[in-house]
């Protein structure tokens, strides 16, 4: 009886796997092509393994020609080399997808060809006794050496590609090769156990389940590809320098309360429309977003025109669709840039219905990235500084407060103005660590006691909306105050009007926690937001700060003048103090004092200055007052 049961089981397993693989929806990704080649080579290898056993049986117990048997045996062990090489290429992945490592790729291909050639020309022997069947001789030794080098290289390549692949992929490849090596060792010790072919088949099944199962990349609701599949596909396109076009669609509902059934209906109808394009890949990136990748911009433009003109008919439910069109992927240099580009436009361009990527928009995103990286670098390197702008107390005729303002010192020593980095910091969340660093530095300054000795009663610090939306920003403020042994009354936290619109209850809760500990609050930038009585009645603030534009408006328009006079009157009746920002001339100072403003801040007295200059300013203007 022939010893081919395991080989037959392995072959059946691989044929089923092949049928599953080819009938499923698959992306055209280089790694999937490599997997398919490895799968085919494994099927051929096991088939030749079975044929070699049959040929040896026929030569030993029948009349099958010896030279033909040797040829079949050599074909089998050559297929082992080919299978090992395909496994190596699969492990290397996009490492060899382009010509950046061409010489190394040629070297391994040459090694494989050399091994196959030696196997073909060197003599081979075969043996069969009952269920013990094997080949031997110089030809098989050449095969073993070639295969061992390829397997070791496969394992090394899995580790070398750590930065390019997930730990899951690395573990799967190492386990695959490990199973194969273990099976070969067991077969060498126990010749009756012909495990190599079955182990190879089992390894391919494991790779399929772990890494190449198409179902993992399919969205269950729409049947389209998932965000993970999109990431893999875009990385593959850039790694192989394959140009493409793409359309990003975001669905926005015209009403706030939309049930899940409606959302599902919308996404399914859009998905059905997008399915009509057979030469494009459709990805569902999130609950309300699709990305469609095209081979040419013409097809992308066709779909956009049809959707833009007939979206209500196609979807049947009132929605707004926002688009980002990328006619040429070469505008961006990498997959990371591609995803960052879309992330930036999602957060910064919500009011634009359609954005067509061009060089100027890409340059804008690059500048955004540069500033973002600059902020991170400044935080890491300790190049965030605090400047102080004095605040004049009208009643006491001296400077009793200051506003802390963040600055960043560039690597060349120049100071970067806040207008360049604050908006970007707010967009990407870096405003939170910036605000925390400013708060720490101010508390450290107050801990020194220097500003208090020169008449400063408190310093105003602007904490961001994002900081107040945090679960417990009050804990951070309290912990820093305790760390530097600062009196809470020395701290006045500025909060903007828009902050009260963003999670108002959370903001109020955190404000009240800090007020209980002795910290005071100001309402900053009054006159620039959606001002209404809620800001004064509901917000537990003691000071209102008139924005620069609001103050300047007093001198430019009679209407603005009357409004400001009425507002000042209301503020005083509510028991609120007023700071007027942006005062620049003697006439403006006199006007604000006559109006009844309590505090004055502006370039008339001083621009924001470093703490050393600020202390000298106080010595000059407060001492002896």
Domain CATH for 321: 3.30.70.270
For 192, other C-beta atoms within 10 Å of its C-beta total 12
Statement to judge: residues 567 and 540 lie in one domain: yes
Residues 6+ apart with CB under 8 A from 505: none
Q: Are residues 234 and 209 in the same domain?
A: no
Per-residue pLDDT, averaged over 227-254, amounts to 88
What is the rounded average pLDDT of the residues 27-36?
Answer: 84
Q: What is the CATH number of the domain that holds 419?
A: 3.20.20.450
As a whole number, mean pLDDT of residues 452-470 equals 81
Please report which confidence band the pLDDT of residue 405 belongs to, taking 50, 70 and 90 as the band edges. very high
**202 close to 175: Cβ distance less than 8 angstroms:** no
Domain ends where: 215, 241, 276?
A: 215
Query: If we measure between CA atoms, which residue out of 305, 310, 284, 286 comes closest to residue 225?
Result: 284
Residue 370 lies in a domain: no
Q: Are residues 238 and 201 in the same domain?
A: no
* Least confident piece of the model among 118-127, 242-251, 376-385, 458-467: 458-467
| Residue 98 confidence (pLDDT) above 60 | no
User: C-alpha distances in angstroms, 266 versus 247, 288, 309?
Assistant: 18, 9, 17
589 falls within a domain:
yes
| Number of domains making up the chain | 3
- What is the arithmetic mean of pLDDT over 422-446? 89
3-state secondary structure of 385: strand
* pLDDT, mean of residues 135-154: 89
Q: Residue 75: what pLDDT?
A: 94
Under 8 Å CB-to-CB from 135, ≥6 apart: which residues?
A: 52, 56, 73, 76, 77, 124, 125, 126, 127
Mean pLDDT of 382-405: 96
| pLDDT for the residue 464 | 67
Which pLDDT does position 171 carry in this prediction? 80
Residue 182 or residue 72, greater confidence: 72
- Report if residue 372 sits inside a domain: no
pLDDT score of 596: 93
Residue 407 β-bridge partners:
385
Token digits of residue 194: 């012909």
What pLDDT is attached to residue 511? 84
Q: Give the list of residues 6+ apart from residue 424 with CB closer than 8 angstroms, or none.
A: 368, 371, 372, 375, 430
Residue 113 binned pLDDT confidence (cut-offs 50, 70, 90): very high
- What does the pLDDT average to over 187-207? 79
Average confidence (pLDDT) over 538-546: 87
In a domain, 380, yes or no: no
Q: What is the rounded average pLDDT for all residues in the chain?
A: 85
Which tokens go with 195? 């495990």
- DSSP code at position 272: H
Q: The CATH number of the domain where 181 resides is what?
A: 1.20.1070.10
| Statement to judge: residues 149 and 243 lie in one domain | no
pLDDT cut 70: percent of the chain above it: 89
174 and 236, same domain (yes or no): no
Same domain, 343 and 423: no
Sorting pLDDT into bands at 50, 70 and 90, what band is 589? very high
Tell me, yes or no, whether 375 lies in a domain.
Answer: no
- 538 within domain boundaries: yes
pLDDT tens digit sequence for 56-72: 888 988 888 999 999 99
Which token pair is 393? 């107390």
Instruction: Read off the pLDDT band of 500 (50, 70, 90).
Output: very low
Domain coverage including residue 300 = 218-357
The whole-angstrom separation of Cα 458 and Cα 481 is 13
Residues 115, 9, single domain; the answer is yes
Q: Is the pLDDT of residue 148 over 60?
A: yes
Query: Quick check: is 327 in a domain?
Result: yes
Question: What is the arithmetic mean of pLDDT over 479-505?
Answer: 79
């Amino acid at each position: 009886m022939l010893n081919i049961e395991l080989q037959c089981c392995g072959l059946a397993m691989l044929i089923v796997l092949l049928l599953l693989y080819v009938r499923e929806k698959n992306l055209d990704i280089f790694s999937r092509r490599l997997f398919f080649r490895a799968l085919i080579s494994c099927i051929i290898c096991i088939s030749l393994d079975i044929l070699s056993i049959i040929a040896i049986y026929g030569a030993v117990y029948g009349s099958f020609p010896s030279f033909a048997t040797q040829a079949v045996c050599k074909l089998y062990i050559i297929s082992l080399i080919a299978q090992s090489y395909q496994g190596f290429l699969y492990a290397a992945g996009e490492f060899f997808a382009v010509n950046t490592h061409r010489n190394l790729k040629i070297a391994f291909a040459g090694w494989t060809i050399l091994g196959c050639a030696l196997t073909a020309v060197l003599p081979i022997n075969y043996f069969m006794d009952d269920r013990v069947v094997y080949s031997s001789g110089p030809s098989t030794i050449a095969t073993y050496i070639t295969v061992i080098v390829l397997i070791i290289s496969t394992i090394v390549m899995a580790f070398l590609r750590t930065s390019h692949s997930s730990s899951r992929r690395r573990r799967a490849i190492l386990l695959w090769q490990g199973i194969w090596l273990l099976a070969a060792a067991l077969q060498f010790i126990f010749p009756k156990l012909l495990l190599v072919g079955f182990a190879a088949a089992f390894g391919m099944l494991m790779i399929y389940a772990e890494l190449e199962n198409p179902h993992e990349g399919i969205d269950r609701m729409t049947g389209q590809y998932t965000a993970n599949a999109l990431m893999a596909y875009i990385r593959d396109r850039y790694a192989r320098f394959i140009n493409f076009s793409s359309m990003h669609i975001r669905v926005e509902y015209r009403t706030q309360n939309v049930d899940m059934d409606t959302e599902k209906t919308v996404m399914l109808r859009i998905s059905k429309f997008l399915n009509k394009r057979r030469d494009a890949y459709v990805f569902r990136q999130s609950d309300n977003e699709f990305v469609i990748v095209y081979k040419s911009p013409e097809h992308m433009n066709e779909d956009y025109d049809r959707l833009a003109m007939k979206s209500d008919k196609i979807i049947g439910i009132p929605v707004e669709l926002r688009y980002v069109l990328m006619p040429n992927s070469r505008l961006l240099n990498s997959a990371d840039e591609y995803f960052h580009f879309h992330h930036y436009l999602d957060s910064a361009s919500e009011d634009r219905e359609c954005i067509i990527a061009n060089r100027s928009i890409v340059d804008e995103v690059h500048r955004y990235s540069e500033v973002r990286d600059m902020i991170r670098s400044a935080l890491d390197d300790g190049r965030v500084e605090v400047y102080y702008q004095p605040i004049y107390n009208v009643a006491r005729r001296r400077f009793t407060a200051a506003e802390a303002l963040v600055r960043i010192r560039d690597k060349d020593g120049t100071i970067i103005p806040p207008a360049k980095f604050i908006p970007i910091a707010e967009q990407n969340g870096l405003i939170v660590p910036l605000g925390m660093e400013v708060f720490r530095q101010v508390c450290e300054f107050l801990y020194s006691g220097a500003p208090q000795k020169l008449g400063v009663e408190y310093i105003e610090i602007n904490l961001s909306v994002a900081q107040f939306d945090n679960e417990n920003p009050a804990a951070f403020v309290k912990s820093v105050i305790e760390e530097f042994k600062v009196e809470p009354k020395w701290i006045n936290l500025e909060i903007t009007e828009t902050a009260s619109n963003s999670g108002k209850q959370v903001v109020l809760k955190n404000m009240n926690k800090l007020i209980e500990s002795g910290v005071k609050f100001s309402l900053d930038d009054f006159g620039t937001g959606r001002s209404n009585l809620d800001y004064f009645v509901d917000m537990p603030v003691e000071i209102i700060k008139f924005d620069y534009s609001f103050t300047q408006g007093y001198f430019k328009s009679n209407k603005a003048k009357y409004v400001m006079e009425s507002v000042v009157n209301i503020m005083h009746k509510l028991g609120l103090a007023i700071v007027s920002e942006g005062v620049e001339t003697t006439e403006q100072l006199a006007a604000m004092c006559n109006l009844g403003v309590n505090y004055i801040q502006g370039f008339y007295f001083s621009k924001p200055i470093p703490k050393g200059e600020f202390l000298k300013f106080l010595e000059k203007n407060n001492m002896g007052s």
